[in-house]
Amino acid sequence: MAVVFEKTKGLTEKETHYCPGCTHGIIHRLVAEVLEELDVLGETVGVAPVGCSVLAYEYFNCDMQEAAHGRAPAVATGIKRALPDKVVFSYQGDGDLASIGTAEIVHVAHRGEKITTIFVNNAIYGMTGGQMAPTTLIGQKTTTSPLGRDSNLTGFPLRMSEMLATIDGAVFVERVSVHNPAAIRKAKKAIKKAFEVQLEGKGFGIVEVLSTCPTNWGMTPVKALGWLEENMIPYYPLGNFKSPEEAK
């Protein structure tokens, strides 16, 4: 019988710890499939963050290094500078990248490090139990914004892709989502492009992936996908903010 589908070689056999309905699993697979399709699994070193995807080093079937909270871009810089011919990526959530690691992500882009960052934005701190993130939407209830996020007290959600796209060293910036199959296909295309930009040595690339957190949003997986589409996408518009053609 002909094999029509196989699990990607980019992931290990390890069962993930992610909650039912969490979209981290999809995003992991997209990254893994891209690495396999580009035939670079053996030349890749990934950097795992602190947050829900802290155990990513057990799931990606390539060499991995676990970073301190927010520092993945700095760790990836050290690796890429030591191993300039290898493929280096960081996989980070919104607490990691958009809060504690803002300096590191801005400056990895500023230096134009030839790495790829996968930024998973689910508008909440998942691992620690649902606290407010810089990306939490106005009015969104979390354990540290129990009455809903109030812009007067906590500001407005950070749009990282738009901000990073203003930096010359960032040559590929795109926001995608994984709330339906069409979006997932586009997400994979963007992730592949970001790695290709690295392979071509053009500079820093980042793909922001809007993601769900059914557990901490207090929703069923299906309802969470709908909430993402109805609430996150209007505030975080999907699309490409920067590609090598326009980067100087």
Partner 1 sequence: MAKVLMKGNEAIGAAAINAGCRYFFGYPITPQNELPEYMSRELPKVGGVFVQAESEVAAINMVYGAAGSGVRVMTSSSSPGIALKQEGISYIAGAELPAVIVNIVRGGPGLGSIQPSQSDYNQSTRGGGDGDYHLLVYAPANIQEMVDLLQEAFDKADFYRNPVMVMGDGMIGQMMEPVEFKERPEVDLPPKDWAATGTEGKRKPNVINSLFLKPEELEDHNIRLTEKYDAMKKNEQQWETYNMEKPEIICVAYGTTARIVKSAIDTLKAEGIEIGLIRPILVWPFPEKAFVELPETAKMFLSVEMSMGQMIDDIKIVNQGRLPVEFYGRSGGMIPSPDGVVQKIRALLGGAK
Residues binding partner 1 (CB under 8 A): 12, 41-45, 47, 54-55, 57-58, 60-68, 71, 74-83, 86-87, 103-104, 106-107, 110-111
Minimum distance of partner 1 from residue 162's CB (angstroms): 20
In the bound state with partner 1, the residue whose beta carbon lies nearer, of 103 and 222, is: 103
In the bound state with partner 1, the residue whose beta carbon lies nearer, of 45 and 190, is: 45
In the bound state with partner 1, the residue whose beta carbon lies nearer, of 54 and 219, is: 54
Q: What are phi and psi of 143, to 5 degrees?
A: -70, -20
Return the closest-CA partner of residue 120 out of 206, 180, 189: 206
Minimum distance of partner 1 from residue 175's CB (angstroms): 24
The b-or-e profile of 100-109 (16+ CB within 10 A means b, else e) is: bbeebbbebb
The amino acid at residue 136 is T
The amino acid at residue 174 is E
Task: List beta partners, residue 174.
Answer: 207, 240
Q: Distance between CA 147 and CA 149 in Å, rounded?
A: 7
Minimum distance of partner 1 from residue 69's CB (angstroms): 9
In the bound state with partner 1, the residue whose beta carbon lies nearer, of 86 and 223, is: 86
Minimum distance of partner 1 from residue 28's CB (angstroms): 14
Tokens linked to 177: 């989502």
Minimum distance of partner 1 from residue 137's CB (angstroms): 29
Q: Distance between CA 20 and CA 148 in Å, rounded?
A: 25
Q: What are phi and psi of 205, to 5 degrees?
A: -130, 140
In the bound state with partner 1, the residue whose beta carbon lies nearer, of 37 and 66, is: 66
Minimum distance of partner 1 from residue 75's CB (angstroms): 4
CA 132 to chain centre: 18
In the bound state with partner 1, the residue whose beta carbon lies nearer, of 37 and 229, is: 37
Cβ contacts of residue 51 below 8 Å, gap of 6+? 69, 92, 93, 95, 96, 125, 126, 127
